[in-house]
Amino acid sequence: MSSEFTLPPPFESNLTWPATMSGELVTFTLLIVFAVLSALEFSHPKRKLPLKQLRQSYQTNVSLLIFNSIVISLLSAAPLLMVAERYSDWGLLSYITNPAWKALLSFLLLDLLLYLWHKASHRFDCLWMFHKVHHNDPYLNVSTAFRIHIVELLIITILKSAYIIFLGVEQTMVLINEALLALFVMFHHTNISFRGEKRLAQVIIAPYLHRVHHSTERNEHDNNYGTVFSIWDRLFGTLIELEPAEIGIKNSSPQTVLGLVKFGFSSAKPVPVHELDLSLKSMIAEAAYYKAEKRAFTPGNELRDWLEAKREIIRMVYGDKAIGKQSTESDCPSIQRPFTIC
């Protein structure tokens, strides 16, 4: 299939896009943007990162990108442009005559699809086990955009293919959408900060918004799921604005390509209660006090109040599946009772 796509007459007359879209041109543009963003975060970083570890992060992430590209080619997973070539005349967009509205709707709906997928990847253990590979980079930088497990990449490709068929997205729009997505993903992973960033974040996902999404704390990284527009997080109540204390995931995890591929097939390890941060323990203590106050501090129920408060707080912060096998023993500091998180 040729990598050259010529826009039909309606696009030429109504849009300012170039009449011809080249896959090679898009690739070259993305490489230029990657180089510029890399230079910016090296010269004006938001966080000072150790050079040796940062170099390893770049090497691992770019190598994973190359590995994923090779595997995708070998498996012949439905290339998005081939799907668009076959099904572009189908779908809901065929009922819209204005090409500008077609382009806008196709991009907005794609961004919404990725928001929902991203949120599901954090909510369901079977998806998080692969998505956590993206989160395990402790040195957030522009190359982190390429740290994605091959299984997650295949699932996303299938979802995008279904979206193309359902809407009937044309090849040119697919190419432009994919290029724009890549640009925005690289941008919001870049280790930079700039004047007007918060104002820009009113519309799109800026680096400071996505940085908290890579926090080691789950109650922080289970937010800010947007890829391009911040409207979805604002609309669905998943937007937070704060500076994370630490980036990555808790506990040690591999930082090599082969290690990351294998890491995606490993389930999360239990986290002992004694490792809960002090803020979470304070929340449990406050909830237990509230329960005791409701029963007028009648003695003999202290342990039950504490255990009930603990279950409720952990469920609220980590979700229903966060609570694993619970012992009936006391929750004193000397006793460690594990619960699992995804």
Q: How much is the pLDDT for 313?
A: 76
Q: How much is the pLDDT for 12?
A: 35
With beta carbons less than 8 A apart as the criterion, state whether 284 and 309 touch.
yes
Question: Residue 39, CB half-sphere, CA atoms under 13 Å: how many?
Answer: 6
**Whether 122 and 231 share a structural domain:** yes
Strand spans (E) along the chain: 4-6, 20-22, 271-272, 338-339
Determine the straight-line distance between the first and last CA of the chain, rounded to whole angstroms.
41
Q: How much is the pLDDT for 318?
A: 61
Q: How much is the pLDDT for 55?
A: 83
Q: How much is the pLDDT for 42?
A: 76
Query: Which of 83, 174, 159, 166 is closest to 121 using CA atoms?
Result: 159
**Whether 303 and 230 share a structural domain:** no
**Whether 224 and 309 share a structural domain:** no
**Whether 257 and 298 share a structural domain:** no
**Whether 259 and 321 share a structural domain:** no
Among the candidates 230, 263, 296, a domain finishes at 263
Identify the segments of the chain with pLDDT beneath 50.
1-21, 74-77, 269-275, 321-342
**Whether 194 and 297 share a structural domain:** no
**Whether 219 and 280 share a structural domain:** no
Q: How much is the pLDDT for 4?
A: 37
Q: What angle do CA 126, 132, 135 make, to 5 degrees?
A: 160
Report the C-alpha dihedral over residues 194, 197, 200, 206, rounded to 10 degrees: 100
**Whether 44 and 71 share a structural domain:** yes
Among the candidates 217, 245, 263, a domain finishes at 263
**Whether 64 and 173 share a structural domain:** yes
**Count of domains for the chain:** 2
Indicate the residue type of 314: I
**Whether 257 and 277 share a structural domain:** no
Burial class (CB in 10 A: 0-12, 13-18, 19+), 286: exposed
Q: Measured between alpha carbons, how far is 2 from 207 in angstroms, rounded to an integer?
A: 36
Q: How much is the pLDDT for 273?
A: 45
Q: How much is the pLDDT for 74?
A: 47
Among the candidates 243, 263, 283, a domain finishes at 263
**Whether 232 and 283 share a structural domain:** no
**Whether 219 and 319 share a structural domain:** no
Query: Which of 173, 158, 172, 153 is closest to 109 using CA atoms?
Result: 173
Give residue 223's domain range: 4-263
Q: How much is the pLDDT for 200?
A: 96
Q: How much is the pLDDT for 333?
A: 37
Q: Measured between alpha carbons, how far is 179 from 79 in angstroms, rounded to an integer?
A: 15
